[in-house]
Amino acid sequence: MKKIIKIALVSIILIGLTYISQNGFRVNEKLRIPGLTRLLNPADGLWNNIDISYHGSEKQVELSGIDGDIRIYYDDRLVPHIFASSEKDAIYAQGYVLAQHRLWQMDFMTRLASGRLSEVLGKATIDRDLIMRKYGLEYSAKIAVDKWNDFPEGYETMIAFKDGINAYINSISDKDLPLEFKLANYKPVAWTNLGSALVSKYMAFTLSRYGPDIKNTNARLLLGEEDFNRLYNQRNSKQTPVIREDLSMASSVMREKPAGIDFLENPVSGYTYKEPIPGAGSNNWAIGPSKSASGNAILANDPHLQLSLPSVWYEMHIVTPTSNAYGVTVPGIPGIIIGFNEDIAYGSTNVGQDMLDYYTIDWVDKEAGTYRVDGKVLTAERIPQTIKVKKGPDINWDMMLTVFGPVILESDDENSPDLAMQWMAHRTPDKPEYYSFVQAMKCKDYDCYKKATSNFLSPAQNFVFADKQGNIGMRVNGNLPVKYKDEGILLKKGNSIKNMWTDIVPRESNPQTYNPSLGFVASANQISVDENYPHPFNGGFEDYRGRRINELLEQGEGMDVEDMKKFQLDEVSIKAREFLPKFLKVISENTSDVRTSEIYNILADWDYKYNADSKAPYIFEEIAVLFENKVWDEISGQEYKISFPDFWILNQLIEENQSDDFFDDKSTSEKENFSQIAVQTFTEVAEKISLNDDLSWATKKPGRVMHLLNIPGYSKMGLKTGGSGDVLKAIRGGFGPSWRMVVELGEKPIAWGIYPGGQSGNPMSPYYDNMVDDWAAGKYYELLFSNNEEEIKNRSKIVHKLTKSNE
Amino acid sequence: MNKFLAGLLIIVMHYALSIFLPWWTIVFLSFIIVALFKLEGKSSWLIPSMSIMLSWLIQILILDQKTNFRSSQRIADLFDAPGFVSYIVPIITVGLVAGLSGYLAHLFFSKNEEVGIVEEEERMTIDEYKDNTPGLEDRGII
């Protein structure tokens, strides 16, 4: 009996220990400890992710899907230089290389976009999956992929890309799987075209989801039409649009405001939604011969995105008999998205035009999916969705597709309507968007580049261009909806399909400029056009960076590459430069002892630069936030969502009327003005801040680059970067310049670039985050560019040969 | 010699099996080897445990030294822990699993009711037994 008990006891302990060592255990809803012995065993655990293949090696792989031999040379930063005998082979190799270094990232991005993370990560990601399902990215990506079949030329490219990725996937065993697959204990599936479409749609999700319609509607109802228009719906007269030339022209497609259109009568609330990422934006510009010291055109671009490890970008050089292109792409998308070749350089920034409108749904019977439009009862199409959850029950949910688009927001408040959305990113382009980036690699002039990008639909981008003849151009590219003035600022009633925009601005009418007399083109997410352009623009536009780059380029003469780098790293804040002198003036006039205040002196002596070591940016930001809260006391504290007006509006109020009603503190019986609120703000901030603390900007607001799963040990935090979202060096916490590139197009292009990451997605690799510190320090690498294979070979550390298999 | 062979067999076979099969095949391997070699007492858990721990330690050391021991720290970074944790955790757990499995085999196949408590009996040949046991003839046994 004693023996049986012993056997039972030992068996239980053995099975339990083995199970936990293999599968791990859940600590709580959010945290699960993985099976540590599975993860750390020497046979196929993380020890096999040791990156030793990049210390000088030559490898040959036989593959069946290529037409000829491909040579891949990796330089000292692990940038691949692909030499192939055809475009098809080059794109195949691109897929192979991307999978080799970023396989898990690609898998993660497609799961994120399609709402399938919970399938491998469990309960913790259910909410995120549900949001992505509601946005219907997978639904629209599938439609896009179906249409790719109608475009054989581009389809062949995509098949080669997919085959390249799968050739790598098929070549590895479990022990070679990227670390994160082992961590979450799952395996990659074969790559499909849908994966590339999802990555493309996710770019649109990140960049073209501006839609404060709910908050605007509440603001208008709270403040009335006049004040709403004054605070939320006017152009900044100091702003310089992206296209500065006169764009008054007749348009063949115009839209009048439908008769009898009306808006909501009551504020709305009860919605749960993910706000678009603040800080997503970019800078780009190009200078022509008249502004350049060498007489060559110079192009600069730095897209500002959420910074992550692995990085959003992958750097590569692709050489074929018809092209020689260098730049970056997003893993999962073929071609070069931002880059250059021997003749041209190109890049992009985001267009802030509002591409997403919400429509209230007048349900007749929500359960049955019936709703009322134009006096008729329509039935929403139900598209069943199943969210598979690892170690949990499936979640079944129906996407409701109305005539406007999917129902995206359901309110917990019975007095607020459910909302459907109409979103440009749901539309399908005639040619795949990725094809623009494959074609652009081969272009030698602006006409070719315009043609290559003419089918790019979403997210709309300001495509900047320069060539070696000294030509420069900028084009607001992508589908722009034809709207009536102010359309889409507020929630629309879904009582009529007339409320929907349907037409697209003809591409030849998209705002653009080529060789402007100014000698430069520049964009930094500011509004694209002035009021003369026939199609109204409204949306989320940046207020300060565009002005700053225009100021620098206007003043600059005989500029060179080093100037372009300085501009990308410029930390001057127009926001502070405009506001602070007025603020400090009233402080000094109204407070007798303020001139002896150290805090006052720090601000008064400030050069308005968001320098890492400076204390002034932190003090200024404290003042700005508190001042905003005091001025907008009428707006804050509402039961429903509502946001403050843009900061430049405050500046305008100060300039126009320092006794404006909004400066009044509503909690007192007296009427306050600007100076009184300013003094209150300064006093409170001065009392709150201790100068004995380390107030340097980099300490208070350090930069960070997080691993995609937010694993601290695989992230870079506490970066002493400097910069701010409002300055050209637009680093704000975990957001910022995700790739900095400067290209001078002479007889032979000379280019510099850097991104905050590393080429390898493997945290165990020395190339995982090797560029982050240099990026934070504002350094650049000269990019190794040549069509001379021998030269590239001599400067490379590793050679991979993909040879055609005879099988 | 038996013990040495058993340990060696565990190391070699587990290394070979782990190329195709998961690490936890050590449970079965340890059980079978202990049963086959009839390891008893402390040896039943100590031999499989020590051999697999030694095997993993060597394998991990070989892998880690390839990156000048940077890899152990990078693995430990995952858990915000010092580098030696990357060694200790897997080696101790696999040792425990192998040891428990061996001991279980011993429990299953041992004829002694007081398994695990008695010391391993001294083994001797029949001649040694005769020499060491006086009075056998007197009892008419031989």
- The answer to whether residue A749 sits within a structural domain is no
- The answer to whether residue A732 sits within a structural domain is no
- The answer to whether residue B83 sits within a structural domain is yes
- The answer to whether residue A662 sits within a structural domain is yes
Domain stops at, among A699, A723, A757: A699
* Residues A730 and A278 sit within 8 Å (Cβ to Cβ): no
Structural domain count of chain B: 1
* Residues A164 and A96 sit within 8 Å (Cβ to Cβ): yes
Question: Which residues contact residue A306 at a Cβ distance below 8 angstroms, ignoring those fewer than 6 apart?
Answer: A206, A277, A279, A280, A312, A734, A735, A738
Closest CA to A115 of A399, A410, A425: A399
Looking at the complex, does the CB of residue A36 fall below 8 Å from at least one CB of chain B?
Answer: yes
User: CB-CB: which of A11, A14, A763 is closest to B97?
Assistant: A14
How many other β-carbons are positioned within 10 Å of the β-carbon of residue B20? Answer: 11
Query: A76-112: per-residue pLDDT in tens?
Result: 999 999 999 999 999 999 999 999 999 999 999 999 9
Range of lowest pLDDT (A146-160, A377-391, A595-609, B24-38): A146-160
Closest CA to A129 of A110, A115, A147, A109: A115
Range of lowest pLDDT (A48-52, A140-144, A597-601, B124-128): B124-128
* Residue numbers in B near A763 (CB within 8 A): 74, 77-78
Question: Which residues contact residue B91 at a Cβ distance below 8 angstroms, ignoring those fewer than 6 apart?
Answer: B53, B56, B57, B60
- Give the max Cα distance, chain B: 73
Looking at the complex, does the CB of residue A713 fall below 8 Å from at least one CB of chain B?
Answer: yes
Instruction: Give the gap in angstroms from C-alpha A36 to the nearest C-alpha of chain B.
Output: 7
- DSSP of A313-381: -EEEEEEETTEEEEEEE-TTS-S-SEEE-SSEEEEEEE--B--EEEEEE-EEETTTTEEEETTEEEEPE
CA dihedral A702, A706, A712, A717 (to 10 degrees): -20
- The answer to whether residue B118 sits within a structural domain is no
Closest Cα in chain A to B15: A43
Query: A396-439: per-residue pLDDT in tens?
Result: 999 999 999 999 999 988 889 999 999 999 998 888 888 899 99
Looking at the complex, does the CB of residue A580 fall below 8 Å from at least one CB of chain B?
Answer: no
Closest CA to A725 of A322, A278, A248: A278
Give the pLDDT score at B126. 66
Question: Which residues contact residue A10 at a Cβ distance below 8 angstroms, ignoring those fewer than 6 apart?
Answer: B100, B103, B104, B107
Range of lowest pLDDT (A183-197, A235-249, A276-290, A688-702): A276-290
Q: Look up the ipTM and state it.
A: 0.85
DSSP-assigned letter for residue B119: P
Instruction: Give the gap in angstroms from C-alpha A350 to the nearest C-alpha of chain B.
Output: 35
User: CB-CB: which of B22, B64, B78 is closest to A714?
Assistant: B78
- The answer to whether residue B99 sits within a structural domain is yes
Q: Is the dihedral of CA A585, A590, A595, A596 positive or negative?
A: negative
Write the secondary structure of A222-265 as one string of H (helix), E (strand) and C (coil). HHCHHHHHHHHCCCCCCCCCCCCCCCCCCCCCCCCCCCCCCCCC
User: CB-CB: which of A14, A50, A714 is closest to B63?
Assistant: A50
Instruction: Give the gap in angstroms from C-alpha B34 to the nearest C-alpha of chain A.
Output: 15
Closest Cα in chain A to B66: A52
**Angle B112-B117-B122 (CA atoms, 0-180°, nearest 5)?**
65
For residue A33, what pLDDT band results from cuts at 50, 70 and 90?
Answer: confident
B98 is in which domain, residue-wise? 2-112
Asked whether the beta carbons of residue B22 and residue A45 sit closer than 8 angstroms, the reply is: no
Is residue B140 over pLDDT 60?
no
* Residues A610 and A571 sit within 8 Å (Cβ to Cβ): yes
Q: Which residue is listed with tokens 């007339």?
A: A498
How many other β-carbons are positioned within 10 Å of the β-carbon of residue B138? Answer: 8
Distance CA A791, CA A787 (A): 8
Give the pLDDT score at B116. 46
Structural domain count of chain A: 2
Would you state the structure tokens that stand for residue A359, as one six-digit string?
């429509």
% of chain A residues with pLDDT over 70: 98
- The answer to whether residue B78 sits within a structural domain is yes
Instruction: Give the gap in angstroms from C-alpha B124 to the nearest C-alpha of chain A.
Output: 27
CA dihedral B30, B35, B36, B37 (to 10 degrees): 90
- The answer to whether residue B87 sits within a structural domain is yes
| DSSP three-state, residue A62 | strand
Write the secondary structure of A396-460 as one string of H (helix), E (strand) and C (coil). EEEEEECCCCEEEECCCCCCCCEEEEEEHHHCCCCCCCHHHHHHHCCCCCHHHHHHHCCCCCCCC
The per-residue pLDDT of chain B, averaged, comes to 85
Instruction: Give the gap in angstroms from C-alpha A39 to the nearest C-alpha of chain B.
Output: 8
Instruction: Give the gap in angstroms from C-alpha A3 to the nearest C-alpha of chain B.
Output: 7
User: CB-CB: which of B27, B63, B70 is closest to A42?
Assistant: B63
Give the pLDDT score at A209. 86
The per-residue pLDDT of chain A, averaged, comes to 93
Asked whether the beta carbons of residue A11 and residue B94 sit closer than 8 angstroms, the reply is: no
For residue A711, what pLDDT band results from cuts at 50, 70 and 90?
Answer: very high
- The b/e string for A362-397 (b: 16+ C-beta within 10 A; e otherwise) is ebeeeeebebebeeeeeebeeeebebebbeeeebeb
Looking at the complex, does the CB of residue B8 fall below 8 Å from at least one CB of chain A?
Answer: no
Give the pLDDT score at A372. 95
Query: A564-581: per-residue pLDDT in tens?
Result: 999 999 999 999 999 999
Give the pLDDT score at A319. 97
How many other β-carbons are positioned within 10 Å of the β-carbon of residue B113? Answer: 10
Range of lowest pLDDT (A505-514, A776-785, A795-804, B123-132): B123-132
Give the pLDDT score at A638. 86
Asked whether the beta carbons of residue A3 and residue B107 sit closer than 8 angstroms, the reply is: yes
Q: Is the dihedral of CA A766, A771, A772, A774 positive or negative?
A: positive
Between A355 and A279, whose confidence is greater?
A: A355
Give the pLDDT score at A348. 96
* Residue numbers in A near B80 (CB within 8 A): 712-713
User: CB-CB: which of B24, B78, B90 is closest to A18?
Assistant: B24
Closest Cα in chain B to A36: B90
Give the pLDDT score at B117. 45
Distance CA B32, CA A776 (A): 57
User: SS3 helix, strand, coil % of chain B, rounded to 5?
Assistant: 65, 0, 35
A1 is in which domain, residue-wise? 1-40
Closest Cα in chain B to A50: B71
For residue A43, what pLDDT band results from cuts at 50, 70 and 90?
Answer: very high
Backbone angles phi, psi at A565, to 5 degrees: -65, -45
User: CB-CB: which of A37, A52, A763 is closest to B93?
Assistant: A37
- The answer to whether residue B124 sits within a structural domain is no
- The answer to whether residue B123 sits within a structural domain is no
* Residue numbers in B near A55 (CB within 8 A): none
Backbone angles phi, psi at A320, to 5 degrees: -130, 175
Mean pLDDT of A328-339: 97
Range of lowest pLDDT (A140-149, A164-173, A784-793): A140-149
Question: Which residues contact residue A585 at a Cβ distance below 8 angstroms, ignoring those fewer than 6 apart?
Answer: none
Query: B31-56: per-residue pLDDT in tens?
Result: 999 999 999 889 999 999 999 999 99
Would you state the structure tokens that stand for residue B38, as one six-digit string?
């009839």
Find which of A5, A7, A12, A18 to mutate to test the B interface (most B CBs within 10 Å of its CB). Answer: A18
- The answer to whether residue A737 sits within a structural domain is no
Q: Which residue is listed with tokens 């700005």?
A: A624
Give the pLDDT score at A263. 84
Helices A674-688 and A616-631 cross at an angle (nearest 10°) of 130
Give the pLDDT score at A807. 62
- The b/e string for A46-75 (b: 16+ C-beta within 10 A; e otherwise) is bbbbbbeebeeeeeeeebebbeeebbbbbb
Closest CA to A331 of A468, A190, A434, A421: A434
Would you state the structure tokens that stand for residue A483, as one six-digit string?
């709207």
Mean pLDDT of A609-620: 97
Instruction: Note if the pTM is more than 0.90.
Output: yes
- The answer to whether residue A74 sits within a structural domain is no
Domain stops at, among A699, A714, A747: A699
Closest Cα in chain A to B56: A42
